[in-house]
Structure 1
Amino acid sequence: MTANRVRSQAITEVLNRTAVETAETRPLSEIWAIDVFNLAKMEEALSKNAFKAVKRTVKTGEPLDSATADIVAAAMKDWAMGKGVKFFSHVFYPLTNITAEKHDGFIVTNADGNAITEFTGSLLIKGEPDGSSFPNGSLRMTNAARGYTAWDPTSPAYIMWTANGPTLMIPSVFMSWTGESLDKKIPLLRSISAMDAAARRVLTLMGETDIAPLNASCGAEQEYFLVDQHFAVARPDLLLAGRTLFGAAPAKGQEFDDHYFGAIPERVQVFMQDFEEKLYRLGIPAKTHHNEVAPGQFEVAPYYEDANVAADHQQLLMTVMKATAAEHGFLCLLHEKPFAGVNGSGKHVNWSVANSTQGNLLDPGTSPEHNLNFLLFCGAVIRGVHKFGPLLRAVIATASNDHRLGANEAPPAIMSVYLGDQLEGVFNDIMAGKISVSTDGGVMDLGLSQILNFKRDPGDRNRTSPFAFTGNRFEFRAVGSSQSVSGPLTALNTMLTDSLTWVADQLEVQFEAGKTPPEAVACVIKELMELHSDAVFGGDGYSTEWHTAAVEERGLRNLPTTAEALPVFSEPEVIELFEKTGVLSAAELNARYEVYAEQYVNSIAVEAKLVIDMAKTVIYPAALSYAADLAKTYAVAQEVGASFDTTQLKVIAENANLLLSTVAQLESELECHDFADAKAHMSHSATSIRSLMDTVRSYADALEAEVDDALWPLPKYREMLFIK
């Protein structure tokens, strides 16, 4: 079957598809967390003493003794085997943005040759995958292969169902034999612990006596695209790179704003309901779903959870989403920019800090100017973003996210804080030494008797801000849709730890000088804003005026590419930040720089190879074939005395020749290997390679606009985005 025949057949198959029939939905009360070994199930299965010990570990981080681990392991095994489980796996989170798992059976043989089931505390606590075959940034050499996984009791075990049956999954950390973190979970747990200690110090100074453990919370909105599998298999770029490397803009895109929150296509709606029912079984609180801005783009948003569990659930959500999409005949695209010219996909991380005694420390209440704890914690966030904005850019730096930042509702690469008019006024008044009185948003009255009046929020939202306050939390909007949220959460917790430590130091000075708490807080916030208010910006983050002012007047850094952002990991201030908070050692931090730099270079290299292959073997032959048809038509016409305008043939020939010549340049640049260091290699990829790829694309997309539609081999944007 010829390539263009494959495309035609794909269109026919997609048009004839119907929604997949799914099992009858069950009430939420019957399926919620049914496949999770959570505290509720532990309470039923464990002795009172064992359950109390596990609960203390989960709630406060208190160590769990080996005898209790044995009891938990036995109960976990019995629960899982009661559901038909024969295998278990420590699931862990290497530096790949996806999960890893090694499956073991609940089986041992005895001297009589009989098989019995066994699962002890030691098996629960420790696993042993290879420590050198995962990305490790030279922390492990190939001949030093031992690595360990260790059970994280603060994140509940669960059962993952596939066509091959159920498997017990045990969330775990992953480390080398020498003790360095090789994963994303260990730094996150360390950052939570460090933030807890710093926050307790501030709250104690503020006179609080009953202080429960503090934790960060996270609710990560997940954007994604769905493309029918029949189209996807005809697009090598979608299958291997996760995005379209070629594709002319369709006549209609998202300019009518008619897809956002529009009626969800039936097939997609069925997929969403099936997907979310699976999430509910796993205790993942999916809250909303809807059409996103671009055609073919959608979003699911879970309710907030403790950061560590939320990070694990986010990874699980992506896994379940992709598997369920395949069951419904879709390819789920988590790439940040799978289609040029339309909205990209992000993962907006809603982040806050709270405990069970003081509540949400980033909730301003009705009068934020009098909420001293809020002022201190919110001020600490402002300071953190100002001091470590480049770090926040680095932790969301990937080759795919570079395509998204700064356009189509994605924030720019310059890190700033949006507070809203009310809060910005409060902090500016304190900086100016004024007595601040906040105002609420008033009442929304439309003058329609049938529409009830309601209280308006005190401030609007800013969709161009990378880090925006949204009522009782901050929304980190720059995180990419394919990323693990662990890295961004770790950075946020760590920078907050540093700022809260600074706040505590300043409070001690003020209290020693005899200041009252309100006076001390006013002095600390005034100094903080004088030093760090340049990070606060409430205007249009896309405007050229802001980009100029941010860099030239405020001294903020603009790091538009990953090649420019990742070296931040090697800067002395960042190394000191992670070392003094105990979140990452210098070696662990450098390992992450090496791993992410290599991933960046490899990602672009894969795309470049695909561009070369598709240009030479798919696009050029199609152009050549149509050019030959045109030339024959013109020749026959001349023989009978007719004439046709040959402009189109000349345009095709010119673009086809330029396509091949640029491909040759790209091949030559890909062969360059003599780089001084990772930074130089990344720079070459970001400039020379990416630029040539874009140029090849421009010629290919021009050819798509000229070649006979019946001869074009690749599914087009209008088909992939609009046919569901």
Structure 2
Amino acid sequence: MSGIKARLNAISAVINYKPAHAPLNFNETTPTEVFGCNVFSDKVMRDRLPKAVYKSLKKTINLGEKLDPNVADVVANAMKDWAIEQGATHFTHVFYPLTGLTAEKHDSFLVPDGKGGALAEFSGKLLIQGEPDASSFPSGGLRTTFEARGYTAWDVTSPAFILENPNGTFLCIPTAFVSWTGEALDKKTPLLRSLQSLNTQAKRILKLFGTETKLPVTCYAGPEQEYFLIDRNFIFSRPDLLIAGRSLFGAPSAKGQEFDDQYFGVTPRRVLAFMMDVERELYKLGVPVKTRHNEVAPSQFEIAPLYEAGNLATDHNQLLMTTLRTVAKRYGMVCLLHEKPFAGINGSGKHLNYSIGNADLGSLFDPGESPHENAQFLVFCSAVIRAVHKYGALLRATVASASNDHRLGANEAPPAIMSIYLGEQLADVFEQIKSGKVSGSKTKGVMSVGVDTLPPLPMDPGDRNRTSPFAFTGNRFEFRAVGSTASIAGPQVAINTILAESLDYIATELETATGGDSSKLNEAVQAIIKKIMDEHDAIIFNGDGYSQEWHAEAEKRGLPNLRTTPDALPVLTSSEVVELFGKYNVLSGAELASRQEIYLEQYSMVIKTEANLTLRMAKTIIFPAAMRYQGELARTCQNLKNIGQDFKTTTLDEVTAKLRDLQDKVAALETVMEHSADDALDEAKHLCEKALPAMLDVRAVADSLEAIVADDLWSLPSYQEMLFIR
């Protein structure tokens, strides 16, 4: 099939699309009945486990106590029976290796009984520990290829669940993944370690304020997931979207997002059907999805869950991304999670809403009605200010990737400069503390809209700032720099650890200043917050993070601006970061070095793949199409000349010049890609500084040709087709 025919067939398939299955019936089974039905939940455990086993397991889940190995067999048997009743034939330990994806190996429950039949078995040993091949996952030098042993370890704090398939179901058990020598080879292990350090240091602060809780202080997360939906037929005609997840070529559509008519607009029917199906699947898995809406760019959408404990929210976000991709296929679409699948319009992020607390305390970032009087809140908030100022470069490194580099600082996402937005109310309170005179704080007002039939609207004491990478939003912080494809584990690990370090510092200062005398606490709190503001208020910025003025101001303040992934990743092995993670037993120096090596290699592999695609598409798709058009123009000019007609060859001359330019740019990119380096950082820098600009040069010529070449010769689906034919 010729390229143009494939493109036309894709357009026809979109226009003539019909649902492949019957619509969902939410009357027949309500969402409340569906929610959590495929989860080995607290209710299921309470119903199926002996009381003593249930209590022991709940102590581990709720209080963080060590798991009693003696309960494992009982839990495993109950889990097996429940899963088989749900139609499961296999189980798998689900883990999250440093690929950033989800991994699983399925094992059958069935064991031959020696009499020609089979039994269903699942022991405590199989529940607690699995053994996938560790040599086939990236380890960054922690393991050599001939050292294969790795272990998965049951994470009891994240419930097991059932995943459905058209031909059955299987039991999924969330696990950590470590090497034979105990190093973390995954995203979950460091997150669990960081939660322990956060709990220890937060409770030291709470003890000083006389606040008691038996529950661990943990982090909570609510990631807002952005994504694009494109008809699947278009993807098959776009090698770049199919392989790289983003378009390496494409002239701008006549209309983009400039009318501001996409955001919160009416959702297309097929997309809404997809969204409702996604939500139903996630309800079954206990994922508390709450919000759905159109995003700013055409064919861009968002789904957001309610707040959950950070570890569970991480697992649920991985499930959410998998579900988005899987369900999209049912509706003849592909879900693109790449941070920048289309040039010239907004990319996709994953805003990480973050707080700390527990069920007893609520959010420790809640200022209450009078934040200037809420000393405990002010201490925790000042700890964040200090942490982000000291370790802003580390936060930048946690969101570094080839795909996210296209988005950060592009007037659709925060800049690569880390700063904190506090809002008018909190900024004023901290400024008063810094000056030594605290008189009060701005209160919430009431807005009169000027229409009698509309009620008065309560106003927050400050506005929001969408240009800030780390913004206070009422009772939590929103880390807006996380990319849409990324796991939220890495940013949480960093935030938990740097916050633990700041809380450790503040607790030590307060303990020393008070000497156990609670009457001295208020004065000590005022002093430590003032000291933090004196030393760290450079990180606070309430203005426009997109402006060039801010870049100049940030440089004056000494804030790092790590624009690219090769700039940011070396931070992971800086002495300050190695000391930080080592002190709180979150990541060793070797584990940090391995991550830096892996992420640099992943960066280089992404760029190399995209460069190879750029060359192939330019030479085999774009150049031939333009040559055919050049041939048509040349024949037309010759025919007109033969009959004595005076005819200008402007278009032919333009196409010919651009074809020569395209050949030159392709040759230049090929020369760039001949480079090789033994050092991973050197290779990444070369690709960043040389290959990416060379790829853009090829694209610029190709996109200009798309605007000239006859449409019936251009085989690649265009931006306006992919983004607006739904």
Match of 2:718 among 712, 716, 719: 716
Match of 2:331 among 328, 331, 336: 328
Deviations 1:158-205 (A, max 9, x none): 001122320100000000001000000000000111000000011112
**In the alignment, which residue of structure 1 is the partner of 2:626?**
623
**In the alignment, which residue of structure 2 is the partner of 1:68?**
71
Deviations 1:50-105 (A, max 9, x none): 11111111101212222211110000000000011100000000001110000000
Instruction: Output aligned runs, 1:39-118, within 5 Å.
Output: 39-118=42-121
The one-letter code matched in structure 2 to 1:526 is K
The one-letter code matched in structure 2 to 1:2 is S
Gaps of 5+ in 1: none
**In the alignment, which residue of structure 2 is the partner of 1:603?**
606
**In the alignment, which residue of structure 2 is the partner of 1:251?**
254
Match of 1:527 among 527, 531, 541: 531
- Quick one: distance in 2 between partners of 1:62 and 1:335? 39
Q: Secondary structure at the match of 2:201?
A: helix
**In the alignment, which residue of structure 2 is the partner of 1:546?**
550
| 1:77–1:119 Cα contact (<8 Å) kept | yes
State which drifts further: 208-217 or 481-490.
Answer: 208-217
1:394 counterpart = 2:389 = no
State which drifts further: 339-348 or 54-63.
Answer: 54-63
1:343 counterpart = 2:342 = no
Instruction: Output aligned runs, 1:324-473, within 5 Å.
Output: 324-473=327-476
Q: CA deviation at 1:521?
A: 1.0
- Quick one: distance in 2 between partners of 1:63 and 1:246? 54
Q: CA deviation at 1:211?
A: 4.8
| 2:230–2:335 Cα contact (<8 Å) kept | yes
Q: CA deviation at 1:647?
A: 1.5
Match of 2:540 among 528, 536, 555: 536
- Quick one: distance in 2 between partners of 1:510 and 1:207? 16
**In the alignment, which residue of structure 1 is the partner of 2:9?**
9
Q: CA deviation at 1:212?
A: 2.6
Q: Secondary structure at the match of 1:88?
A: strand
Output the TM-score relative to the length of structure 2. 0.98
The one-letter code matched in structure 1 to 2:650 is T
- Quick one: distance in 2 between partners of 1:381 and 1:145? 41
Output the TM-score relative to the length of structure 1. 0.99
Deviations 1:117-164 (A, max 9, x none): 100000000100011110110101011110011110100000011223
**In the alignment, which residue of structure 1 is the partner of 2:126?**
123
**In the alignment, which residue of structure 2 is the partner of 1:24?**
25
The one-letter code matched in structure 2 to 1:516 is K
- Quick one: distance in 2 between partners of 1:344 and 1:210? 42
1:289 counterpart = 2:309 = no
State which drifts further: 293-302 or 14-23.
Answer: 14-23
| 1:222–1:348 Cα contact (<8 Å) kept | yes
The one-letter code matched in structure 2 to 1:533 is D
**In the alignment, which residue of structure 1 is the partner of 2:272?**
269
- Quick one: distance in 2 between partners of 1:534 and 1:29? 48
The one-letter code matched in structure 2 to 1:407 is A
Q: Secondary structure at the match of 1:530?
A: helix
| 1:22–1:274 Cα contact (<8 Å) kept | no
Q: CA deviation at 1:357?
A: 2.6
The one-letter code matched in structure 1 to 2:10 is A
- Quick one: distance in 1 between partners of 2:393 and 2:384? 14
| 2:380–2:503 Cα contact (<8 Å) kept | yes
Q: CA deviation at 1:18?
A: 2.9
- Quick one: distance in 2 between partners of 1:265 and 1:292? 12
Deviations 1:652-689 (A, max 9, x none): 111111112211221222121134x2221111011100
Q: Secondary structure at the match of 1:36?
A: coil
Instruction: Output aligned runs, 1:202-281, within 5 Å.
Output: 202-281=205-284
| 1:275–1:321 Cα contact (<8 Å) kept | yes
The one-letter code matched in structure 1 to 2:681 is K
Q: Secondary structure at the match of 2:351?
A: strand
Match of 1:499 among 491, 497, 502: 502
Instruction: Output aligned runs, 1:517-666, within 5 Å.
Output: 517-551=521-555, 553-666=556-669
Q: CA deviation at 1:287?
A: 0.2
The one-letter code matched in structure 2 to 1:381 is V
| 1:173–1:183 Cα contact (<8 Å) kept | yes
**In the alignment, which residue of structure 1 is the partner of 2:692?**
690
Q: CA deviation at 1:508?
A: 1.6
1:680 counterpart = 2:682 = yes
Q: Secondary structure at the match of 1:100?
A: coil
- Quick one: distance in 2 between partners of 1:18 and 1:449? 47
Q: CA deviation at 1:407?
A: 1.8
Q: CA deviation at 1:322?
A: 0.2
The one-letter code matched in structure 2 to 1:66 is P
Q: Secondary structure at the match of 1:260?
A: coil
| 1:200–1:211 Cα contact (<8 Å) kept | no
State which drifts further: 438-447 or 249-258.
Answer: 438-447
Question: When the two structures are aligned, how many residues end up with a matched partner?
Answer: 722
* Superposition RMSD in Å: 1.1
- Quick one: distance in 1 between partners of 2:654 and 2:65? 72
Deviations 1:477-526 (A, max 9, x none): 00000000000111110110000001101112321396622211111100
**In the alignment, which residue of structure 2 is the partner of 1:707?**
709
Q: Secondary structure at the match of 1:335?
A: coil
Question: Using a 3 Å threshold, how does the CA distance of structure 1 residues 680 and 464 change in structure 2: closer, same or farther?
Answer: same
The one-letter code matched in structure 2 to 1:545 is E
- Quick one: distance in 1 between partners of 2:594 and 2:625? 45
| 2:379–2:529 Cα contact (<8 Å) kept | yes
Q: Secondary structure at the match of 2:496?
A: helix
Q: CA deviation at 1:208?
A: 2.1
- Quick one: distance in 2 between partners of 1:305 and 1:586? 30
- Quick one: distance in 1 between partners of 2:126 and 2:624? 57
State which drifts further: 440-449 or 84-93.
Answer: 440-449
Question: Using a 3 Å threshold, how does the CA distance of structure 1 residues 45 and 211 change in structure 2: closer, same or farther?
Answer: closer
Q: CA deviation at 1:604?
A: 0.4
1:516 counterpart = 2:517 = no
- Quick one: distance in 1 between partners of 2:37 and 2:631? 63
| 2:63–2:214 Cα contact (<8 Å) kept | no
The one-letter code matched in structure 1 to 2:195 is I
- Quick one: distance in 1 between partners of 2:677 and 2:213? 60
Q: CA deviation at 1:207?
A: 2.2
- Quick one: distance in 1 between partners of 2:19 and 2:427? 49
The one-letter code matched in structure 2 to 1:538 is N
| 1:346–1:480 Cα contact (<8 Å) kept | yes
Deviations 1:668-716 (A, max 9, x none): 22121134x2221111011100010010000000000010011111000
| 1:342–1:408 Cα contact (<8 Å) kept | no
The one-letter code matched in structure 2 to 1:539 is G
Identity %: 53
| 2:220–2:355 Cα contact (<8 Å) kept | yes
The one-letter code matched in structure 1 to 2:714 is W
| 1:296–1:722 Cα contact (<8 Å) kept | yes
Q: Secondary structure at the match of 1:331?
A: strand
1:33 counterpart = 2:57 = no
The one-letter code matched in structure 2 to 1:274 is D
